[in-house]
Amino acid sequence: MDNSKWPARAVLPIAQPGLIFVFITILITGMLFYFGWVFFAWVSLAIILFVCWFFRDPDRDIPADEKSLISPADGKVIIVEKQEKCDYLSDPCIKVSIFMNVFNVHVNRVPFDGVVQTVQYHPGKFMNASFDKASIHNEKNALIIKMADGTGYAVVQVAGLIARRIVNCVKKGEKVKKGDRYGMIRFGSRLDLYLPCDFNVAVSVGDKTKAGATIIGYMK
């Protein structure tokens, strides 16, 4: 994990955690051209373009509705269900899971205003993130956020089959705003939301989402 602060608006069109990969691939490409290995240099140049595209970090227009909770990730909704027990909340909850493939923007955003009560990191396996058991067994990082009315919700980054790095940039006690960038997971993964039972869900399984723009539902 990485706790360095993420700027409120994108300074570059590439997410901060991806800059090191861009610099490394540029360096390798330059060396390949310098030594005359032209074929491999062009392949490396194509890799640079892919890395820049993968780590893209577009600005988004955050919905102004005070009660709306927005998607923390680009991807597809794969689970919407009520759960009697939850590892992160003391009461029954509603779980909404969003699967990100390698073609999605991977920057994660805060779903709703609040204060970070807990940051829970769990090492684990790297199963396919589309499987529900990934929520239990895979490497993950959970934020439990307390809202102004005293209730809480959780947003959990879950590493996927080829993901090997969860980036989280917020700490316990930090105030967060809806739409703030707070992290990412490199190379495919999922985000799980655990929401109060009276949450009004506005998405269904199969829906596509955009981080910071798609409304997942509304708080009571």
Q: How open is the CA angle 49-98-174, to the nearest 5 degrees?
A: 90
Report the alpha-carbon distance of residue 201 to residue 217 in Å, rounded.
Answer: 4
For 70-124, the DSSP string reads E-SSSEEEEEEEEES--SS-SS-EEEEEEEE-TTS--EEE--S-EEEEEEEEE--
Which one of the listed residues 44, 71, 97, 189 is annotated catalytic? 189
Report the alpha-carbon distance of residue 155 to residue 89 in Å, rounded.
Answer: 11
CA nearest 94: which of 161, 187, 194, 163?
194
Is residue 117 within 8 Å of 78, Cβ to Cβ? no
Is 130 a catalytic site residue?
Answer: no
Report the alpha-carbon distance of residue 32 to residue 26 in Å, rounded.
Answer: 10
Is residue 181 within 8 Å of 42, Cβ to Cβ? no
Report the alpha-carbon distance of residue 58 to residue 199 in Å, rounded.
Answer: 28
Active-site residue numbers?
Answer: 189
